[in-house]
Amino acid sequence: MLSFLLGSLALCLLSIIHLTQGQADVTMVDLFSSWDQRTEAIMGVRLPRVIIGILAGGCLAMAGLVLQTMTRNPLASAGTLGINAGAYLFVVIGALFFPGMNTSFLFSFLGACFAAFLVFMLAGKTMSPVRVVLTGMIITLLFGALTSSLQLMYEQESNGLFLWGAGTLMQNDWSGVTFIWPFALILGGLALFTGKSFDLVHLGDEAAKGLGLPLGLVKTWGWALGILLAAATVSVVGPIGFIGLMAPHLVRLMGVRGHRLQFIHSFLWGAVILIAADVLSRMISPNSELPVGAMTAFIGSPWLMYLAYKAAKKMRSDKQRLNSAKKAGHPILVTAVLLCLSAIVGFISISFGGGQFTSMQEMFSGKMFDHVTVQFRWPRVLVSFLVGALLALCGALLQNVLKNPLGDPSIIGITSGGGAGALLILVVFPSLPFFFLPLGALTGSVIAVLIVIVATRRSGFEPISLALMGVAVSAMASGVIQILTVKASLSVSPALVWLAGTTYSSTWNHVYWLLLMLFILVPLTFLICKHLNVLAFSNEVSISLGLKVKNYRLLSIAIAVLIGAICVSIVGAIGFIGLLAPHAARALVGSAFQRVIPVAMMIGGTLLILADFLSRFMMYPTEIPSGLLIALVGAPYILYVMRKL
């Protein structure tokens, strides 16, 4: 009862504060005094926003509660299982290709169902709680890349979807409330009616069957309830995350037991959290619309980190091994072949411009070195190669030092943390010279990595728990990036391009910076290769061989963080190169680190040149960020690696 009273009081107070926020100056006294024409107009816009926030927050909280029960997983919610991302992707598809149908809920429901189906198919038969959530989060990354690609390819048609896609409660009339309240009422009532059945499911499958529960039917209904609640919410306010994760936990911490009571209290506290987040977002940005989804990500990510930390404590493991080739090829020969391939791809990329290829005769007659080619195409190709090579080195270091096949700067938070730090410098100190941009990216990356390493230390950097913590840190950094993007009034298209990663604005100064890093960090890495090979063994074996494990581990991580920060500050958030290239290198030349480094760097450089070329060529004159093309390949590959863990 205390939980309900506190929640009701908090919701009333926050709703009143919310009604006073906006462009027009309205005080609490005005709300309760005589109504004039101005007040009625304001209430006609602000009151629907408050009501939609209450309904959306409550629906998301109930969806999170039932999904946590169905999976017996404290990390489950519509956001962490990819359901919100699937609904968002299909709504965008519907808006772009079926604009006259006006059936956003239908597309939202289909997308949510498709995402849930993928989680079932890819998480494995055991449905391990942490694995299920990590699978859902990777599906979220994949769907996010697809959605961003569509928005960039159809920029004019999807321009109005950017703010909605980040999650917003903005309402111009009562149509959103009119649509969603029947879902909240009917589905909420059915959830209360079947609450006792969910109590039995919570006891476990065997106990539920023993008590005569039709388990298959109840689970089907539970999943349908969670998907319907999430789909209805996304179709109106966009994909707002973390409400369904936080509210049920908060209710259980308050001592509320039994699903009937938990549904009521979760609805109430979900509404409180979402209204509070919207109030906070409007306080931060009173003159512009700040997506409430970014604010809930910023608030909810620490909660996900805490839950991931608790999961990591139960997953202690120091026996991770990295797969390698059974029959290794000669590293010099493999490197030479890859170098030739990279040169060919680079030459083709330089030859392409203005929608057509320059013939070889034209290129060698002087056009290869004309002003346009030298000032624009050469730096872009060189930056692509150098960034790809350095990211591959970064991934190889992380995978080796953490004995983790999922080691990648984008997976453990280096990329997103660096992006948040770099964007903070751009927004807060726009007049600073370029030198400070890598410094901001480095600071953000270091903070992100420290959080991940400290939180997963007890588990021995177990792959799945480390990746889960990295995704949580990335979610927080992404929330910061969205807030800064809107706060600085950055236009939609450039923001999407930078967040996805692109080499579009590469210059010779960028080439010089990257070459400097290459000439410093690569020789340093080769100098410690023998020690890194020993570090790949268990801690006990490494220490018995006289290796100062802590020192070399910290040095390797420091190199990786520096590389990731420099790359993010130049090309944005390009991920997955560091995951793909080292795996391919070990498959070609074995696991000896001195063999892996040159081959992985050649593969990484070639991959990014190829991605950059395809990004310009595939949809000309529209350019797709190369980071999105890499993500479309990298996200499925992570799922493949997880299946083998």
If pLDDT is split at 50, 70 and 90, which confidence band does 418 have?
confident
The mean pLDDT value for 84-88 works out to 89
pLDDT reported for residue 24 = 64
Q: H helices of 537-621, where? A: 539-544, 549-571, 577-589, 593-617
Predicted confidence (pLDDT) at residue 264 exceeds the cutoff of 90: yes
If pLDDT is split at 50, 70 and 90, which confidence band does 317 have?
very low
Predicted confidence (pLDDT) at residue 576 exceeds the cutoff of 90: no
- Which letter does DSSP use for residue 328 in this model? P
DSSP string, 41-77: HHHHHHHHHHHHHHHHHHHHHHHHHHHHHHHT-TT--
Lowest-confidence range among 378-387, 392-401, 625-634? 625-634
pLDDT reported for residue 531 = 78
Residues 6-21 have pLDDT tens digits of 889 999 999 888 888 7
The mean pLDDT value for 613-621 works out to 76
The residue among 55, 45, 152 whose CA lies nearest residue 621 is 152
- Beta-carbon contacts of 375 under 8 Å, excluding residues fewer than 6 positions away, are 508
Give the phi and the psi of residue 353 in degrees, each rounded to 5: -175, 145
If pLDDT is split at 50, 70 and 90, which confidence band does 318 have?
very low
Coil, strand, or helix at residue 366?
A: coil
Beta strands in 362-448 (DSSP E): none
If pLDDT is split at 50, 70 and 90, which confidence band does 494 have?
low
Q: Are 242 and 297 in contact (CB under 8 A)?
A: yes
User: Distance (Å, rounded) from C-alpha 231 to C-alpha 247?
Assistant: 18
Between 271 and 626, the more confident residue is 271
Coil, strand, or helix at residue 353?
A: strand
User: Distance (Å, rounded) from C-alpha 77 to C-alpha 62?
Assistant: 10
Predicted confidence (pLDDT) at residue 644 exceeds the cutoff of 70: no
Predicted confidence (pLDDT) at residue 449 exceeds the cutoff of 70: yes
